[in-house]
């Protein structure tokens, strides 16, 4: 995966290279089409004027005149009809020049070497210090024919080319800015989408679309954002379901209490019926009390993870005391209870963990079948302590096992109809186990019982 930092560095270097190449190509096109013909015309004019001046003033001395001309920044080459040659000014790097060109100039033609210098040459060809890259004009003094070839030397060329280099620099900067704007849009576009998705999410719209195909930090961020959006949508649905369930679970017993209270006002009601109605009212009050306590406990667990007061205690003694408290209920349903509880100490909050064991054992009893069985075992390995509750009850559908730890979730209609419950017990148990750094799992099939396993760190 290429990181955003690497992409930015590579893109910056690429922009510098591409803008430089494009600027150079544009400058070369300008040089070939405009500047080279202009320079050839200008130098041809200078050469013709120099030749005319030399022809009009033969007494000045041709060599002295050409020496002065070279001193102001020109390279010169002169040849006569007998083949005698002379150079003035800075030396040429390449002195090759065909005899045909020399003869043509001696015969009165003008040689445009700068104009016809190879087209494939870049703008740097203007600086080519070669004899063929000159302008040649005929010169006649005292009846003698000469061919005079002239070109500006390097120093003069640099002075004349500063405009071209200025355009080259300006083009490079302009192209760099354009390419930076385009590339920045490529980098910023996913961030803008993330910003828009955040605003959409803040309005409660969880259906956002982001590009997760990028193999960089922005791709990872988009994937994480979509994952977060899914989780928030799930939490929002759970919140709505929570409010609906809590409203129902509070309203239902209140309606029953109000109804049976109205019935108790009937003066003709018998003592047996009164006792029955009072028993129902007490049951509903107990149900509301249990729901309130569980909600308070769940709120405390959600709000403050420091609620766990750890200390070392004997889990086997705690489990045996719990079994004794439920012995009457076990006997009432004719359930056979077996357990394997080795003498073992663990570190944790005994009060909160007792809530976990109490919930799992009470569920194993409530959802068990008459003459069923319950087996409780504690096993310690190198890393953890495993506490298992296995029953032969009505079980849970395999596709619902993952949801039973959600708040107010009841596994199915048959299970919820068997006994009354708040749907908070397993949620509280899972939260307590999580605060202890452990895990709680269930393995169950419908009508085949259930196995709940709590795994707690042993240190």
Residue-wise pLDDT for 207-232, tens only, equals 777 766 776 677 777 788 788 888 88
Give the CA distances from residue 294 to residues 187, 210, 244, 255, 287, in Å, rounded to whole numbers and listed in that order. Answer: 50, 40, 17, 21, 11
Instruction: Check whether residue 257 and residue 310 sit in a common domain.
Output: no
Secondary structure, 3-state, 124-151 = HHHHCCECCCCEEEEEEECCEEEEEEEE
Instruction: Check whether residue 425 and residue 339 sit in a common domain.
Output: yes
97 domain-assigned: yes
State the pLDDT at residue 211: 66
Instruction: Check whether residue 327 and residue 367 sit in a common domain.
Output: yes
d(CA 164, CA 31): 8
Instruction: Check whether residue 444 and residue 339 sit in a common domain.
Output: yes
Task: Kindly report the average pLDDT of the chain as a whole number.
Answer: 82
The sign of the dihedral angle between the CA atoms of 408, 412, 415, 416 is positive
- Write out the residue range of the structural domain in which residue 279 sits: 217-301
448 domain-assigned: yes
H or E segment and range at residue 76: strand 74-80
Mean pLDDT calculated for residue range 392-414: 73
185 domain-assigned: no
Residue-wise pLDDT for 278-303, tens only, equals 888 888 888 788 778 777 777 777 77
Question: Are 439 and 383 in contact, with CB atoms under 8 Å apart?
Answer: no
Give the CA distances from residue 298 to residues 67, 244, 271, 416, in Å, rounded to whole numbers and listed in that order. Answer: 104, 17, 40, 21
Query: Does residue 255 carry a pLDDT above 50?
Result: yes
Number of structural domains found in the chain = 3
At which of 268, 301, 334 does a domain end? 301
At which of 301, 326, 351 does a domain end? 301
Residue-wise pLDDT for 290-336, tens only, equals 778 777 777 777 776 577 888 999 999 999 999 998 898 898 889 99
Query: Does residue 418 carry a pLDDT above 50?
Result: no
CATH code (residue 49): 3.30.450
Q: What percent of the chain has pLDDT over 70?
A: 83
Instruction: Check whether residue 285 and residue 316 sit in a common domain.
Output: no
233 domain-assigned: yes
d(CA 403, CA 393): 18
205 domain-assigned: no
Give me 232's structure tokens: 């928030």
Query: Does residue 137 carry a pLDDT above 90?
Result: yes
Mean pLDDT calculated for residue range 236-249: 72
Give the CA distances from residue 91 to residues 47, 87, 228, 234, 280, in Å, rounded to whole numbers and listed in that order. Answer: 18, 7, 75, 84, 121
Instruction: Check whether residue 359 and residue 453 sit in a common domain.
Output: yes
Q: What is the band of 126 on the pLDDT scale with cuts at 50, 70, 90?
A: low
208 domain-assigned: no
State the pLDDT at residue 125: 60
58 domain-assigned: yes
Mean pLDDT calculated for residue range 48-72: 87
């Amino acid at each position: 995966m290429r990181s955003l930092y690497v992409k930015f560095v590579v893109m910056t270097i690429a922009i510098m290279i591409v803008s430089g190449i494009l600027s150079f190509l544009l400058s070369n096109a300008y040089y070939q089409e405009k500047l080279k013909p202009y320079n050839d015309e200008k130098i041809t004019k200078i050469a013709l004027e120099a030749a005319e001046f030399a022809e009009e003033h033969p007494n000045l001395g041709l060599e002295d005149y050409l020496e002065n001309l070279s001193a102001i920044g020109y390279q010169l080459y002169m040849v006569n009809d007998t083949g005698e040659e002379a150079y003035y000014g800075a030396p040429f790097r390449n002195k090759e020049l065909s005899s045909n060109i020399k003869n043509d100039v001696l015969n009165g033609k003008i040689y445009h070497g700068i104009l016809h210098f190879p087209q494939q040459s870049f703008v740097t060809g203007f600086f080519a210090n070669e004899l063929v890259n000159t302008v040649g004009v005929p010169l006649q003094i005292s009846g003698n024919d000469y061919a005079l070839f002239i070109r500006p030397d390097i120093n003069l060329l640099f002075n004349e080319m500063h405009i071209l280099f200025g355009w080259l620099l300006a083009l490079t900067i302009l192209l760099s800015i354009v390419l930076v704007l385009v590339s920045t849009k490529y980098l910023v576009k996913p961030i803008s989408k993330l910003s828009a998705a955040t605003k959409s999410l803040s309005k409660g719209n969880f259906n956002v679309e982001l590009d997760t195909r990028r193999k960089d930090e922005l791709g990872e961020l988009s994937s994480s954002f979509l994952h977060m959006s899914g989780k928030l949508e799930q939490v929002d649905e759970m919140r709505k379901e929570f409010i609906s369930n809590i409203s129902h679970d509070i309203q239902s017993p209140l309606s029953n209490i109000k109804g049976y209270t109205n019935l108790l006002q009937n003066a003709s009601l018998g003592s047996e019926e009164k006792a029955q109605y009072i028993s129902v009212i007490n049951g509903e009050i107990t149900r509301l009390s249990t729901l309130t306590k569980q909600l308070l406990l769940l709120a405390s667990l959600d709000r403050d993870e420091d609620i766990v007061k750890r200390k070392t205690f004997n889990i086997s003694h705690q489990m045996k005391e719990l079994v004794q408290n439920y012995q009457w209920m076990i006997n009432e349903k004719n359930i056979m209870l077996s357990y394997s509880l080795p003498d073992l100490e663990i570190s944790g909050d005994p009060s909160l963990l007792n809530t976990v064991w109490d919930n799992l054992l009470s569920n194993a009893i409530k959802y068990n079948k008459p003459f069923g069985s319950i087996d409780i075992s504690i096993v310690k390995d190198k890393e953890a302590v495993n506490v298992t509750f296995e029953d032969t009850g009505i079980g849970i559908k395999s596709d619902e096992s993952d949801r039973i730890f959600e708040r107010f979730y009841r596994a199915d209609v048959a299970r919820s109809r068997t006994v009354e419950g708040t749907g908070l017990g397993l949620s509280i148990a899972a939260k307590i186990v999580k605060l202890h750094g452990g895990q709680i799992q269930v393995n169950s099939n419908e009508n085949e019982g259930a196995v709940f396993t709590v795994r707690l760190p042993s240190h």
